[in-house]
Amino acid sequence: EMLESNNIINFNGLSNSSSYHTFLLDEERSRLYVGAKDHIFSFNLVNIKEYQKIVWPVSHSRRDECKWAGKDILRECANFIKVLKTYNQTHLYACGTGAFHPICTYIEVG
């Protein structure tokens, strides 16, 4: 029924990832934040076609360590975003796997 009503918008995202499993709805700013592989997307809820992308890859040294540990460099040695939480009026708190070396940061969202 939704397909027939033409109310669906496809998001192609990243060509090398289907890892979109962390979400944060920020009704105050009318944003939907989506954590992915090496990226955080920020969608405008008023016009969902409008989005911004924050690139947050793992460091080269951590990726190399992951590879040397026998992990798959394309599927495992990345920064998979696992935590997105509103911290205060201007920042989000975000954490990622960091290629098996977890890392967290504050992201200014204004």
List pLDDT tens digits, range 24-60: 999 999 999 999 999 999 999 998 888 999 999 999 9
pLDDT of residue 1: 64
- Alpha-carbon distances of 42 from 2, 9, 68, 104, rounded to whole Å: 24, 15, 33, 18
pLDDT of residue 54: 92
Q: Has residue 75 got a pLDDT over 80? A: yes
Conformation bin of residue 103: beta by default, left when phi > 0, alpha when psi is -120 to 50? beta
Indicate the pLDDT class of residue 14, thresholds 50, 70 and 90. low
State the average pLDDT for the chain: 88
> How much is the average pLDDT of 5-17?
60
| 35 contacts: CB under 8 Å, gap ≥ 6 | 20, 21, 22, 23, 80, 81, 82, 83, 84, 94, 96
Beta bridge partners of 84: 94
